Amino acid sequence: AQSVTQLDSQVPVFEEAPVELRCNYSSSVSVYLFWYVQYPNQGLQLLLKYLSGSTLVESINGFEAEFNKSQTSFHLRKPSVHISDTAEYFCAVTRNSGGSNYKLTFGKGTLLTVNP
Amino acid sequence: DGGITQSPKYLFRKEGQNVTLSCEQNLNHDAMYWYRQDPGQGLRLIYYSQIVNDFQKGDIAEGYSVSREKKESFPLTVTSAQKNPTAFYLCASSPGGVPSPLHFGNGTRLTVT
């Protein structure tokens, strides 16, 4: 079975500061990794994903995440945050075990609060 | 526009009553999922369906039931056997097969008193 640990439940930062949201996973097989964002009272939206290839993946709004197999991590970073980045962020993993069953396991989420 | 519609957005029920949450998608996706979200707990998988007329239990299926009679619809019934039903319920879909991202609806907040 796989599992995901998001090490910080809340991360408060000031506007224009850099931020890192940490995510570690455990799995006995290779994995696919995702970051989702949830704004208040809404569903989740995909932010970025790692399936294969380059270990550094980027989103269109300035976030990036790096897959580190040796440290089993997939931390999310942004060099300069905006007020509008305030949301809850979820890391998710699914096993690369073939077939068509790609159930996601989610972390408990990190609430990013950007203050002026 | 394609997407997932969950209705209603807010739902109130008395303890002991069954309640059905609606989820409809027009994305032509094969796979559909129901998640439960509680504060500080992340998302937990209740049921999922990869094709019509087939579904599997997720991690917390007790007290819930589903049906998948049509590709576009995946209703969730919260039964009176569910001990703690008050939560935010999210429906999602994906094309299936390759690890495609999930598309989520905007959720239904169920309050049982």
pLDDT at A60: 82
Residue B44: count other Cβ atoms within 10 Å of its Cβ: 16
The answer, yes or no, to whether residue A100 has pLDDT greater than 80, is no
CB burial string A25-64: b at 16+ within 10 A, e below: bebeeebbbbbbbbeeeebbebbbbbeeeeeebebeeebe
User: Does residue A96 carry a pLDDT above 80?
Assistant: no
Question: Is the confidence at residue A41, as pLDDT, over 90?
Answer: no
The pLDDT of B16-39, averaged and rounded, is 94
- Name the residue among B94, B101, B107 with its Cβ closest to that of A43: B107
∠ CA A65-A68-A26 to the nearest 5 degrees? 105
Confidence bin at A7 (pLDDT 50/70/90): very high
Q: What percent of chain B has pLDDT over 90?
A: 79
Could you tell me which residues are beta bridge partners of residue A48? A35
Judging contacts by C-beta atoms under 8 Å, the chain A residues touching residue B25 are none
pLDDT confidence tier of residue B48, bands split at 50, 70 and 90:
very high
The beta-carbon neighbor of A49 closest among B35, B101, B109 is B101
Per-residue pLDDT for B2 more than 90? no
Can you tell me the mean pLDDT for A93-111?
79
> Are the C-beta atoms of residues A58 and A50 closer than 8 Å to each other?
no
pLDDT of residue A63: 96
Q: What is the mean pLDDT of residues A79-103?
A: 84
Q: Do residue B101 and residue A46 have CB atoms under 8 angstroms apart?
A: yes
CA distance B15 to chain A (A): 24
